[in-house]
Structure 1
Amino acid sequence: MAAPIEPIELSIVMPCLNEAETLATCIGKAQGYLERSGVVGEVVIADNGSTDGSQDIARELGARVVDVEAKGYGNALMGGIRAAHGTYVIMGDADDSYDFANLDPFVAALRDGAELVMGNRFKGGIEPGAMPPLHKYLGNPVLSFIGKLFFKAPVGDFHCGLRGFRREAILRIGLHTSGMEFASEIVVKSCLSGLRIAEVPTTLKKDGRSRPPHLRSWRDGWRHLRFLLIYSPRWLFLYPGLAGLVLGLAATLALLVGPIAIGGVGFDVATMLYTAGIAVVGYQAVLFSVMVKLFAAREGLLPMSARYRQLIERFSIERGLILGLLIFVAGVVVALLQLLRWGDTGFGALDTARNIRTAIPAVLGLVLGFQTIMFSMFVGVLSIPTTDGRTLEDAVKAKPEDTDQLIN
């Protein structure tokens, strides 16, 4: 009787696009680690269309090659992750900059229950010349800080390419990006989905290739930053919008009483016009943050927190329409009162400052009311069931652990 096949615990996945110079070294280190540690594993090369014979090198060394036709860093890695047989996956670039021979900290953390294990090159050591100064002192620290601030990510090296995870957990959270943003999406989605995240030290040495890397500092840095902003409607829209709305309304109401002088500087109706504009822009940003969050939840792009879910469940299209109508009518009433006052003068000349001071709240009510009505109608559009059976109500009621049901 043949001996039972032992299940694979670890898949070491490397994206590959013309890495013939360094691929054999990386595969050798990974296989050496598996042999030394006794971990039952495999090496998977996710090839993204190499033309330098990388596929043949990998097969000759006993690695499993997965051909991924769709171009892009994220596509290549997702192709490798889906094809992996291991309970755990450790991914890393095939440029010989990461230490595939020392994966013990990653495996230990995964066995201890972590669902995502990030390497930290700043704690493990960066070889001189291995990371450009722009990345080391500006790009990575800034993006890591934003990741911590926006998503409470418990990692200090947000873009370390060597990371491990439980395969099932990463497939469950629904990763969609195809390019370099994939590195950020893994961390962001893991944080938003409540996965258990750990961090271990790792090292970084100089890229072993003679050609320039695929990474483009400013272009890819902006793509990562853009991704972080888009995936955080609170910081991109809600918080700035609330600040503008509160400050704009407070200043408008204060100037409604009359001119204000601060330190010898006078503020009157001209300032009031600008503060009202700030309030309108702020309110629009707040509504936009809600629309983005609802649309992203409906499409399975972002999970919805319990607090946000409770807030949305209390909202209805009808309530929104009524609120918008009340605000709009309040503006109309103020405008009519002003018209009547003008009629009392025989429609003659009025005091300009006093007239504008009354007109601004009327216009503010009309605009904010109309925006509220349109926002409610947009939510109504999102509530229409689609042919795939996905509805906004499903997204609102789904718990974070059910996010995969919305994605599939």
Structure 2
Amino acid sequence: MPTMNEEEGIQECIERGKSALEMLGLTGEIIVSDSSEDRTPELAAELGAHVVTPDAAGYGYAYRYAFERARGEYIVIGDADTTYDFEELPKLFERLQRTDADMVMGSRLDGEIKSGAMPPLHQYVGNPLLTQFLNVFYEAGVSDAHSGFRVIERDALNHLNLHSDGMEFASEMIMQAAERDLDIEEVPIVYHEREGEATLDSFRDGWRHVRFMLQNAPGYLFTGPAIGLGIVGVVMMTLSLLNRPFAGVFFGQHTMIAGSLSVILGYQIGSLGLFSAVAAEPIRSPRDPVTEWVLSRFQLEHGTTLGLAVFAAGGLYTTYLVARWVQSGYTELPIVPMNLLAFTALVLGAQTVFHSFFLSLLGTSVGEA
């Protein structure tokens, strides 16, 4: 139990935790990972809890600090503010044993939320949306991703490379479990009104979850938008080059300009996704065919050759257009869409060359042969 000034609820939580162990007929220890300024640690120690004091701040760090000191075969986590009834633990443990799952979570959204226990903004907007994001990005398949009441096998926990210090720890545990194909089960639980003052900042902590999920899923943050921008840009450029009305609309020079910028922007964003997959080691790397090929087979020479070829094509056509302009006595202006096509090739070719060198400098399997 991570605690920060929970003297109003800590005793009830510990008593209910002891009761759950008795109902299960199991032995165990209750670890309170405390950063309080009130009597929380004294009250917990009086009831026989093992109180530890993390040497750094943060909700996630408090859990990670306690995990290193836990000795049990199964690890149960939950807040010490009476929102979770630890006497419901047998339901979670029974599901874990019956399904041979790696982790079982208590689902508040599929269970019962007592009046006043959760703000409507959290119940109907925040938690469902964050859960949906996590399910889309990481295919977790859970109904309540941010429930803090969980039981996990020690061996499964050891497979998770948890690093978060803050509230995003709740998301990270599910994200890593899903990415490592751990079996996650859920059971409905009752969520109660908390004792003591809440420390959650709805928008700040919600944003931290969203930011953490996006930073660790560059395929959605970078690659998806890049592909979309690229397709839109190519279509716009093609319509402009055809110089014919389509569906009664004529797409001219302005369409070509917008299409060129869209292609260049999409290429740049896609490159960021590739760089992040190589250098940042996100929880879920992009899985599109281009990224997978680059990560497994790409060499510096491949990128520089491709980039120089594209740059040369754009350069040759630009040279041709300039020569015609000079021969005409500087009166025959080149067609703007064709100019933009050549300039786009020049920009993309140059970017490919320099991006290839940057990838080689990242010092991973991408780069030198």
| Shorter-normalised TM range | over 0.9
CA contact (8 A) 1:260 1:268 kept: no
Matched, 1:366 2:353: no
Shift of 1:252: 0.7
1:203 corresponds in structure 2 to 190
2:52 to 66, 77, 90: 66
* Structure 2 match to 1:110: 96
Matched, 1:237 2:222: yes
Whether 1:302 and 2:300 are equivalent positions in the alignment is: no
Q: Distance in 1 between matches of 2:3 and 2:259?
A: 54
- Cα deviation for residue 378 of structure 1 reads 1.9
Kept after mapping to 2: 8 A contact 1:88/1:110: no
The amino acid of 1:244's aligned partner reads L
Task: State the distance in 2 between where 1:18 and 1:117 align.
Answer: 28
Q: 1:305 to 1:262 in 2, by over 3 A?
A: closer
**What's 2:204 paired with?**
219
Matched with 2:332 is 350
Alignment of 1:327-406 (within 5 A): 327-346=310-329, 348-351=330-333, 354-383=334-363, 392-393=364-365
Q: CA deviation at 1:193?
A: 1.8
Other structure's SS at 1:117 match? strand
Shift of 1:56: 1.2
Shift, 1:310, TM fit: 5.5
Contact 2:60–2:169, Cα closer than 8 Å, also in 1: yes
Aligned to 2:16: 29
Match of 1:283 in 2: 267
**Structure 2 counterpart of 1:362, which letter?**
A
Shift of 1:304: 5.0
Percent identity of equivalent pairs: 36
Q: Is the 8 A contact 1:193 1:303 kept in 2?
A: no
Distance in 1 between the 2:286 and 2:342 partners? 37
Match of 2:302 in 1: 319
**Residue 257 of structure 2: which of 273, 280, 286 is its match?**
273
Measure the CA separation in 2 of the matches of 1:310 and 1:277.
Answer: 26
Aligned residues: 363
- What is the CA-CA distance between 1:100 and the residue it aligns to? 0.4
CA deviation vs aligned residue, 1:172-228 (integer Å, no higher than 9, x gap)? 32111111111111111111122221112111010122x2x1101111111111111
Distance in 2 (alpha carbons) for counterparts of 1:270 and 1:114: 57
Amino acid at match of 1:302: I
The correspondence of residues 182-193 of structure 1 with structure 2, limited to 5 A, is 182-193=169-180
Whole-angstrom distance in 1 between the partners of 2:159 and 2:202 = 31
1:174 aligns with 2:158: no
1:253 and 2:238 are equivalent in the alignment: yes
Q: CA RMSD in A?
A: 1.8
The residue that corresponds to 2:41 in the other structure is 55
Structure 1: which 5+ runs fail to align? 1-13, 384-391, 395-408
CA distance in 2, matches of 1:154, 1:303: 16
How far apart are 1:148 and its partner, in Å? 1.2
What does the per-residue CA deviation read over 1:369-396, in whole Å, with 9 as the maximum and x for residues that have no partner? 122122211211112xxxxxxxx239xx
